[in-house]
């Protein structure tokens, strides 16, 4: 998104908060490059002047934890690592060993620990943690809260948060900026389709959209909407149920046939193919707006930051428009003719990664998950297409 936009997004989200918690991804220094901080949690922490609370797996170690923590603390002098929280600790005696080792070699605050307890585990799968839609986390949250009250100095953690300097940056509370009539946007949201940047929906609403959620899994008809947004998720895990919902698949096809604009990302794109072939090799019929299958492959993870450039007029805008996002999937397209793509993509190093964006009429389906804050014109173009229903090619 760039430094300025990152700060604006954060400040908007934190405007009414007492404390903001920024969840890191992968390791602290892992990003788009092995030789610099680009795209890493460390880069974001420095950008937002946020103190870092290291969460360290304390299992099967004692003094070695001090070597690990010392390395993190000294690796980047411009990054403020303020404290340490140990996870998977054997008990109070084990924690004392870890705490004494770290405090003897660093000046970091050791704020407590979480004991080893299988009941704290949130299961994971091929694209990360099992989502709250599939595995309600209320009970786990209560258990974690009770444990933290016993073994973590929560007041000290809060004090570390309040030690962050005031972040000075310009931002605006977004009020709807109607450039035309309001648009009803149908957003697929259920266990099969649940990956959305919240900022994308907020920006659509900021441009005057009314977001209406529906379920391709459970609903039998579309709501009364003018634009469909089919996000990513786990359609491969729910392919049988999606295939059984003939009425919804027919409704989506009919919406497209009537010229209704559809914007789909990753899992949403898979839903628009003729079929999804799951990890066991079984094919499940899908909407069929695009020829070919989305085929799951356990050993074929595609992951990384992407920059997209529109090359053919589509619901996102005109040729030359650029936006940023990410790819993260185990599927690939097969038996699909390599034509009618609307976009070219590059990775974080500027290397060409080929084409993206299956195009048919007012329907665009991408593997890339775009972040609309990287290009505000995206939301405007989608809503303009819904208002005009003229962007894109005529149906074949």
Catalytic residues: 266
Q: Are 178 and 207 a contacting pair, CB within 8 Å?
A: yes
C-alpha to C-alpha distances, 310 to 212, 313, 323, 375, nearest whole angstrom: 27, 7, 9, 12
Cβ-based neighbours of 323, under 8 Å, separated by 6 or more: 307, 308, 316, 370, 371, 372, 374, 375, 378
C-alpha to C-alpha distances, 169 to 9, 12, 24, 44, 47, nearest whole angstrom: 11, 11, 22, 15, 11
Q: What span, in angstroms and rounded, lies between the C-alpha atoms of 85 and 68?
A: 13
Spatial CA neighbour of 108 closest among 58, 42, 54: 54
Spatial CA neighbour of 217 closest among 250, 195, 249: 249
Q: What span, in angstroms and rounded, lies between the C-alpha atoms of 73 and 93?
A: 25
Give the CA angle between residues 331, 375, 380 to the nearest 5°: 100
Q: Kindly provide the b/e burial profile for residues 199-209, where b requires at least 16 CB atoms within 10 angstroms of the residue's own CB.
A: bbbbbbbbbbb
3-class secondary structure, 199: helix
Q: What span, in angstroms and rounded, lies between the C-alpha atoms of 109 and 51?
A: 12
Q: What span, in angstroms and rounded, lies between the C-alpha atoms of 334 and 277?
A: 10
**To 10 degrees, the CA torsion angle through 156, 157, 158, 162?**
90
**Hey, what are 356's tokens?**
């993206």
Q: What span, in angstroms and rounded, lies between the C-alpha atoms of 25 and 236?
A: 24
Burial class for 106, CB neighbours closer than 10 Å (0-12, 13-18, 19+): middle
């Amino acid at each position: 998104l760039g430094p300025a936009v990152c700060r604006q997004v954060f400040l908007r989200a934190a405007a009414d908060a007492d404390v903001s918690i920024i969840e890191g991804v992968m390791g602290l220094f892992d990003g788009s490059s092995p030789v610099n901080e680009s795209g890493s949690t460390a880069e974001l922490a420095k950008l937002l002047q946020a103190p870092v609370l290291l969460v360290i797996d304390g299992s099967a170690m004692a003094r070695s934890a001090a070597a690990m923590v010392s390395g993190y603390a000294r690796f980047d002098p411009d990054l403020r690592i303020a404290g340490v929280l140990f996870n998977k600790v054997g008990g109070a005696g084990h924690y004392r060993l870890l705490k004494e080792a770290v405090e003897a070699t660093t000046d970091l605050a050791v704020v407590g620990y979480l004991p080893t307890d299988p009941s704290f585990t949130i299961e994971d799968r091929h694209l990360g943690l099992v989502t709250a839609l599939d595995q309600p986390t209320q009970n786990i949250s209560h258990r974690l809260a009770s444990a933290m009250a016993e073994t973590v100095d929560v007041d000290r953690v809060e004090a570390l948060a309040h030690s962050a300097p005031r972040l000075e940056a310009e931002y605006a509370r977004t009020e709807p900026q109607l450039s035309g009539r309001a648009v009803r946007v149908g957003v697929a949201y259920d266990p099969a389709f649940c990956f959305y940047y919240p900022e994308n929906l907020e920006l659509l609403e900021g441009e005057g959209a009314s977001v209406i959620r529906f379920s391709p899994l459970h609903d039998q008809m579309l709501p009364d909407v003018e634009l469909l947004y089919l996000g990513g998720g786990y359609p491969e895990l729910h392919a049988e149920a999606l295939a059984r919902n003939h009425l919804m698949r027919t409704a989506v096809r009919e919406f497209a046939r009537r010229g209704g604009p559809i914007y789909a990302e990753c899992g949403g794109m898979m839903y628009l193919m003729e079929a999804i072939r799951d990890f066991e090799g079984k094919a499940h019929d899908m909407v069929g707006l695009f020829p070919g299958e989305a085929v799951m492959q356990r050993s074929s993870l595609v992951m990384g930051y992407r920059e997209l450039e529109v090359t053919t007029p589509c619901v996102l805008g005109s040729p030359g428009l650029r936006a940023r996002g990410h790819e993260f999937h185990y599927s690939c397209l097969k038996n699909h003719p390599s034509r009618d793509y609307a976009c070219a993509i590059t990775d974080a190093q500027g290397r060409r990664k080929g084409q993206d964006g299956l195009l048919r009429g007012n329907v665009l389906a991408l593997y890339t998950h775009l972040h609309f804050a990287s290009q505000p014109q995206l939301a405007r173009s989608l809503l303009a297409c819904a208002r005009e229903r003229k962007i894109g090619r005529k149906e074949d």
